[in-house]
Amino acid sequence: MDWQALITDAGARIAPHVRHTPVATARFGDLILSLKFEQMQHTGSFKARGAFNTLMQARVPQAGVVAASGGNHGAAVAHAARILGHAARIYVPQIAGPAKIALIRAQGATLQVVPGAYAEAAARAAEWRRATGAMEVHPYDAEATVAGQGTVMAEWETQGLDADTVLIAVGGGGLVAGALGWLGGRRKVVAVEPATCAALHAAMAAGAPVDVEVSGIAANALGARRIGGLCLGLAQRYAVQTVLVSDTAIREAQTALWQEMRQLVEPAGATALAALLSGAYTPEDGERVAVLICGGNVAPDPLDSL
Amino acid sequence: MDWQALITDAGARIAPHVRHTPVATARFGDLILSLKFEQMQHTGSFKARGAFNTLMQARVPQAGVVAASGGNHGAAVAHAARILGHAARIYVPQIAGPAKIALIRAQGATLQVVPGAYAEAAARAAEWRRATGAMEVHPYDAEATVAGQGTVMAEWETQGLDADTVLIAVGGGGLVAGALGWLGGRRKVVAVEPATCAALHAAMAAGAPVDVEVSGIAANALGARRIGGLCLGLAQRYAVQTVLVSDTAIREAQTALWQEMRQLVEPAGATALAALLSGAYTPEDGERVAVLICGGNVAPDPLDSL
């Protein structure tokens, strides 16, 4: 698959609807890091890119689109569908939490909150697709999704990214797959997962996707039970290094992002930084490191406290 | 006074200690705006620039530095003093609130919380200066302060600012004075004040600084009783337009910044945007508008809710 071509096409396709998110350099202790604030994307995460790319390159049926989501993907699909004039039906598990559920509802989608975890929501979304012919938007393991997410890294390079190594949080693997596809080995990619949502780590060890248990503070964003096959293929091809971090390390990274830069992000958005601040990933002397901040839909909604 | 030269010198002087803050373009309803996120500066506001410039161009006495502040200036002075190795004593009024008081304390300064409003804190700071010979860092009406704050606008132009008009929130006027000094009339500057903290508006009407009552949700950052003389001189020279906004409009702009861009800012940080979203300032057809987001030290501390 020619990922560079797919991602270039995706970038041109979605350009009218996605934001160029800002970048900055910042020091955290002894570390000088390049950061990209992709949580400033529409609906608060990179997911808007894959959603727009998927909907814009397909013929969306009259029945509209359907998605199952821990929150961010659902909000992105609902947003893209509204902008593009399609009906959207989103199934979210209770685990998504009230802030993300409210965010999806605010996009104008038909929302179904499903008891249990992501797998139950996915089953209900599949039922709906079979019954109505609605188009399903996969959260991570589809070519159009991966190509859309890959535009983050393409954009960052146009902004002068100066790094040997890029740290990226991994759930189902759409974002890191897009980065790997775009970079094609030109920079090192480090895949960071919560120790309690380690689908890529487990798959790399097993040599194939395997089911994992998911839990912890980032689970509604990073808690895929099984890594996407597209991601695993790219991760194996480029021998990606996987790193695990604790929920404590993630919370400390959230705290550091607020205290140093007044950026309030959700646990998933701080997971890549957590690998550096906790020492789970230690750069070599002279290694220039970049961190992608990928999601900002923190709970509780901070507006509730103002 | 050659403000361009002073600001150029200030920029070179403080470069090792201040952050290039990111910029972005974003749509709010029908408005497409250029934004600069100066709340991502060290200690969460532009005040770090003036503080570093003041301390680095002076011979700081053994007694160290002293400042009175509603919060942001105190945090910036304490931070700069710590980095540069000076003792700092900061007087804050109770109105600063617990989040800003904790922020100043976290910088390692000796902190004195004074009952009442800013004027009482200022009186106590002046007493300390007279008794000890400590150097006082004025929050807005001093050449070194204004030159430091002017580096925000100089930096923005190096980042490709594409705007006819720049909206800036005004308290004592240090930031807007720096912008006016740097721009020298090359772009239109709109000075935005809360209707309840309208020191510049009142002074422009009276033709001289006059005392005003201050209150409202942005008062701990924008509640100067009297506009700085340097600011008023520049505002008169360039015939600055002043615009007033309500607390309701400020709160709505805070909400919009979070909902659109996941930027959680304090009321002062959303005040310039409030002028546009509320219609208090309506751009002409084709007028390209920029908004400076200047402070992020929101209360309560959002980390308390995580």
Q: How confident is the model over A26-60, as pLDDT tens digits?
A: 999 999 999 999 999 999 999 999 999 999 999 99
B71 has a chain A CB within 8 A of its CB: no
Whether the per-residue pLDDT at B117 is higher than 80: the answer is no
Residue range B253-282: average pLDDT? 98
Of A149, A138, A136, A142, the closest CA to residue A11 belongs to: A149
* Segment B226-244, tens digit of pLDDT: 999 999 999 999 999 999 9
Are B300 and A305 a contacting pair at CB < 8 A?
yes
pLDDT of A15: 98
* Strand partners for A35: A24, A291
pLDDT of A70: 84
* Complex ipTM value: 0.96
Q: How confident is the model at residue B181 (pLDDT cuts 50, 70, 90)?
A: very high
pLDDT of B30: 92
Percent of chain A whose pLDDT exceeds 90: 92
Are A44 and B303 a contacting pair at CB < 8 A?
no
Query: Which letter does DSSP use for residue A285 in this model?
Result: T
| Sheet hosting strand A289-293, strand order edge to edge | A23-28, A31-37, A289-293, A165-169, A188-194, A241-245
Q: Tell me how far apart the alpha carbons of residues B275 and B270 are, in angstroms, rounded to a whole number.
A: 9
CB neighbourhood size of B19 (10 A)? 18
Distance from CA of A291 to the nearest CA of B (A): 15
Fold designation for B47-136: Rossmann fold (3.40.50)
> 3-class DSSP state for residue A303?
helix
Q: How confident is the model at residue A234 (pLDDT cuts 50, 70, 90)?
A: very high
Residue of A nearest to B296 (CA): A262
pLDDT of A116: 80
Burial A279-304 (b: 16+ CB within 10 A, else e): ebbebeeeeebbbbbbbbbbbebbee
Question: What mean pLDDT, rounded, does chain B reach?
Answer: 96
Helices and strands (H, E) in chain A, number of each type: 12, 10
A160 has a chain B CB within 8 A of its CB: no
Are B258 and A298 a contacting pair at CB < 8 A?
no
pTM: 0.96
| Sheet hosting strand B31-37, strand order edge to edge | B23-28, B31-37, B289-293, B165-169, B188-194, B241-245
Whether the per-residue pLDDT at B75 is higher than 90: the answer is yes
pLDDT of A276: 98
- Which is it for the CA torsion A119, A122, A126, A128, positive or negative? positive
Helix (H) or strand (E) holding A151: helix A143-158
B26 has a chain A CB within 8 A of its CB: yes
* Segment B30-50, tens digit of pLDDT: 999 999 999 999 999 999 999
CB neighbourhood size of A124 (10 A)? 19
Integer angstrom CA distances of residue B250 from B44, B176, B268 = 18, 18, 8
Which one of A17, A36, A262, A263 makes the best mutation probe of the B interface by having the most chain B beta carbons within 10 Å? A262
* Segment A66-110, tens digit of pLDDT: 999 889 999 999 999 999 999 999 999 988 888 899 999 999 999
pLDDT of B1: 84
* Segment A130-173, tens digit of pLDDT: 999 999 999 999 999 999 999 999 999 999 999 999 999 999 99
Distance from CA of A271 to the nearest CA of B (A): 15
pLDDT of A22: 98
> Tokens 């390390």 label which residue?
A249
B108 has a chain A CB within 8 A of its CB: no
Percent of chain B whose pLDDT exceeds 70: 100
Distance from CA of A229 to the nearest CA of B (A): 31
Comparing CB atoms, the residue among B23, B26, B40 nearest residue A262 is B40
Q: Tell me how far apart the alpha carbons of residues B260 and B173 are, in angstroms, rounded to a whole number.
A: 28
CATH architecture, domain defined by A3-45+142-293 = 3-Layer(aba) Sandwich (3.40)
The token duo for A143 is 């070519």
Of A206, A240, A175, A237, the closest CA to residue A1 belongs to: A237
Question: What mean pLDDT, rounded, does chain A reach?
Answer: 96
Cβ neighbors of B279 (< 8 A, separation 6 or more) are: none
Most confident of A118-127, A207-216, B94-103: A207-216
> Tokens 């309840």 label which residue?
B196
Query: Which letter does DSSP use for residue A214 in this model?
Result: -
- Identify residue A174 by its one-letter amino acid code: G
Work out how many CB contacts closer than 8 A connect A with B: 69
B161 has a chain A CB within 8 A of its CB: no
- Identify residue A132 by its one-letter amino acid code: T
3-state SS string over chain B? Answer: CCHHHHHHHHHHHHCCCCCCCCEEEEEECCEEEEEEEHHHCHHHECHHHHHHHHHHHCCCCCCCEEEECCCHHHHHHHHHHHHHCCCEEEEEEHHHHHHHHHHHHHCCCEEEEECCCHHHHHHHHHHHHHHHCCEECCCCCCHHHHHHHHHHHHHHHHCCCCCCEEEEECCCCHHHHHHHHHHCCCCEEEEEEECCCCHHHHHHHHCCCCCCCCCCCCHHHHCCCCCCHHHHHHHHHCCCEEEEECHHHHHHHHHHHHHHHCCCCCHHHHHHHHHHHCCCCCCCCCCCEEEEECECCCCCCHHHHC
Distance from CA of A154 to the nearest CA of B (A): 17
Cβ neighbors of A208 (< 8 A, separation 6 or more) are: A232
B256 has a chain A CB within 8 A of its CB: no
pLDDT of B116: 80
Query: Which letter does DSSP use for residue A23 in this model?
Result: E
- Give chain A's end-to-end CA distance (angstroms, integer): 49
Helix (H) or strand (E) holding A113: strand A110-114
CATH 3.40.50.1100 in chain A, residue ranges: 3-45+142-293, 47-136
In degrees, rounded to 5, the angle at the alpha carbon of residue A175 between the alpha carbons of residues A277 and A219 is 65
B305 has a chain A CB within 8 A of its CB: yes
Residue of B nearest to A36 (CA): B22
CB contacts of A259 in chain B (<8 Å) are 106, 303
Are B306 and A298 a contacting pair at CB < 8 A?
yes
Comparing CB atoms, the residue among B20, B106, B251 nearest residue A306 is B251
Q: How many residues belong to chain B?
A: 306
pLDDT of A118: 81
Give Dmax (Cα) for chain B.
Answer: 57
Whether the per-residue pLDDT at B112 is higher than 90: the answer is yes
Residue range B276-281: average pLDDT? 98
pLDDT of A130: 97
Residue range B139-163: average pLDDT? 97
Of B244, B241, B246, B219, the closest CA to residue B289 belongs to: B241
